[in-house]
Every structure is written in C-alpha cells, then in structure tokens.
Amino acid sequence: MKRFALAAALVLLATVPWWVRGTFYVNIASQILLYAVFALGVNVLAGYAGLVSLGHAGLFGIAAYTGAKMLAGGAGHLAVDVAALATTVVAAGVFAVLALRGTGLGFVMITVALGQIVWGVAYRWISLTNGDNGISITGRPSPFGLSLASPRSFYWATLVVFLAAILSMAIFVASPFGASVRGTRDQPRRMNALGYHVWMIRFLAFLFSGFWSGVAGLLYLYYNQFVSPQAVALTASAEALLMVIAGGTGTLLGPVVGAALVVVVKNVASAYIERWNFVLGAIFVMIMVFMPEGLVPGLARLARRLRVGAPSPAPAAVTATREEVPP
C-alpha cells in the first residue's frame, strides 16, 4: 500500500506540467518544490535537532548571491553550483559555531543576528551586491545538454532536486546519526551522559541543513534569474520556519505541505484577495488551534481517530518527561 501510494505520488508529481494548465501554474509548482527543499533544510534543525533558526534565509541568500556574482563574472554553471554550495556550507559552519554557543532562545537570537548581518551586506554593500537593485543573471544551466529554459523543463529539474532532498532526508532520519540528532533534541543531558558528542552532532546537523538551504537558494536564483536583499530578509527566514511548523516539525512530508500552503496562498490567493497576508495568518492560527503539531501529524491523528472511532488525544509525548512526578 505504501509503495503504491509512493508510486502514485511520483507519477502525479512527474506529470504536473501536463495536467496543470498554463505556465503560471507550472511555475507555481516549481516554487512549491524549491521552497519545499528550503523548508526540508530548515526542518533538519527545527524539527529533528530541536534548534529553531531564524537566520536560514541568510544561508539561502549566500548561495544565491555567490551564484549570481560568479555567473555575472562569466563562470560556468557547474563551477558556480559547486562554489556556491561550498561557500554556503562554510558559512553554515560559521553560523553553527556562533549559534551553538546558545540553546533555546539564545540560539534563535544569534541566528536572527547572523541572518540580519547577511541581509545588511546584501542591502548596504552596494559594490559587492548591487544593493536594493539586486543582481540579475541571464540563462539557466543545461545539464547533460538539456535546456532548463522552459517552465516545464525547469519544473522537472527542480523535481529531481526535490526528490534527492526528500531521499537524503529519509535516509538521514532512519540512520544512526539521525537517531543521534533526535536524541539531542529530546534529552541532550542524557545523550551527553551516554557518551554522545552533543555539540558535534548539532554542528553536523547544521551543515546538512545549510547545504539544502543552499541548494534551495541556487534553485531560487535560477528560477527568478535574479536575487535581491528581499531573499535574505528576516521575513524569508520566518516564512520558511512557518512552512515547517504549519506542515509539522520533525516529519518528512510536513515541510513539503507547509511550503505548498504558503506558496499557493501567496501566489494564488493574492490574485483574488488583496489582504492575502490576513488569509495566511488566519490559516496559521487555525492550524495552531486545531492541529498544534502541524498539518501532517494532525491529519494523521484525525485519520486514526476516524478509523478507530474514538477520540485520539492531542500529542502529549513531547511533555511526558515533565509529568514524571511520582504518585
């Protein structure tokens, strides 16, 4: 059954350009996938490592700006992609070393500060980044001679990258290292006492998260053929985090569903409703009220409840350690 659902989903995704009419909607589908890759990267930290970052748009932007600068300088696409991702991973390492000096709110605030530094450079260092005007590039890559110029071909390329991201996440989550990362989220003190290097595990998770944020940044650059400070703003980091929270932290599909929700409301609802921000905000509030664990786990709980016919309790597992006062 699971394999059948997986195959059906793959067929559905691969045939989007045929059953979705119009270039506009194919482009929306590409946006959903590229933001899903970004949200999956953010989810590694926020969901699996329990570290909420509000600076990941900085990493997303570092990849996009590095790519844009190098392409504008005449470099080839392969070299640009490798260099942009390497730069992003190094930047993620610097972010991690600084941010992991704190946990909880301290971690959040350091990531905000780091993200704002990147935004400040993008906005104010005009000789490097062209400031508010941003950097434009011309042309998308043609891997193996296949041009990605058309919306359809770009969608398929984005789909391949998205599937690679999902696959890497699935392998990571099921691996011993993935179990270690989740252990540091749930009980860092116990993990340390058991012999795990909690800091190093979080550092490596940060690099992994930064890598996929960089990949998403490159996709963003190729999709828009333009990057500006807007891409690295605090709101972009918050939006990615909201995608993860709305869809369900610490799940594979949650960030994908969250990305779809935000991109659709932003692009489609805004065509009909002037105050689309209000609609998005109202949707988030409804999710938090009725499915505080996010859409994917919430819908799974609802499905279980319908199957069994009995009310299923709201998730309490997360707080179980605080309930262990002896009777």
Partner 1 sequence: MTAAVDLSVQPGERRLIIGPNGAGKTTLFNLITGELSPDGGTISLFDTDITRVPSRRRAHLGIGRTYQIITLFPRDTLLRNVTLSLLALTRLRWNPFVRLETRTELVERARVVLSRVGLDRLADRPLAETSYGERRRVEIALALAQSPRVLLLDEPFAGLSIEERRDLRALVAGIPRDVTIVMIEHDMDTALDFAERISVLHLGEVVMEGTRAEVVAHPRAREIYLGE
Query: Between residues 110 and 198, which has the closer beta carbon with respect to partner 1?
Result: 198
Name the one residue in this structure whose structure tokens are 């530094």. Answer: 117
SS in 3 state form for 33-59? HHHHHHHHHHHHHHHHHCCCCCCHHHH
CA distance 178 to 170: 9
Minimum CB distance to partner 1 smaller for 149 or for 194: 194
User: Which member of 194, 273, 303, 306 binds partner 1 (CB under 8 A)?
Assistant: 194
Closest distance to partner 1 from the beta carbon of 297 (Å): 12
Which residue type sits at 172? F
Question: Can you tell me which of 149, 179, 302, 314 binds partner 1, judged by CB under 8 A?
Answer: 179
Cα gap 209→176, rounded to integer Å: 17
User: Should residue 22 be labelled a site residue for partner 1 when binding is judged by CB under 8 A?
Assistant: no
Q: How far apart are CA 302 and CA 28, in angstroms?
A: 29
The verdict on 171 binding partner 1 (CB under 8 A) reads yes
Q: Residue from 187, 225, 230, 270 that binds partner 1 (CB under 8 A)?
A: 187
CB of 319 to partner 1, least distance (A): 8
Pick the closer one to partner 1 by CB: 72 or 314: 314
Min CB(316)–partner 1 separation in Å: 7
Q: Is 101 in the site for partner 1 (CB under 8 A)?
A: no
Q: Is 198 in the site for partner 1 (CB under 8 A)?
A: yes
- Name which position in 78, 174, 282, 302 contacts partner 1 (CB under 8 A): 174
Question: Using the rule CB under 8 A, which residue among 142, 235, 277, 321 binds partner 1?
Answer: 321
Tokens 């594979």 belong to residue: 252
Q: What is the three-class DSSP state of 226?
A: strand
Helix axes 23-43, 254-264, angle to 10 degrees: 140
What's the full length of the chain, in residues?
327
> Rounded to 5, what percent of the chain is helix, strand, coil?
80, 0, 20
What type of residue is 197? H
Contact status: 193 vs partner 1 (CB under 8 A): yes
| Options 17, 115, 178, 258; binder of partner 1; rule CB under 8 A | 178
**Does residue 209 touch partner 1 according to CB under 8 A?**
no
11 binds partner 1 (CB under 8 A): no
Residue 80, both tokens: 């640009």
The answer to the question of residue 197 lying near partner 1 (CB under 8 A) is yes
Q: Token digits for 256?
A: 């994908």
Q: Which residues bind partner 1 (CB under 8 A)?
A: 171-172, 174-180, 182-183, 186-187, 189-198, 208, 316-321, 324-327
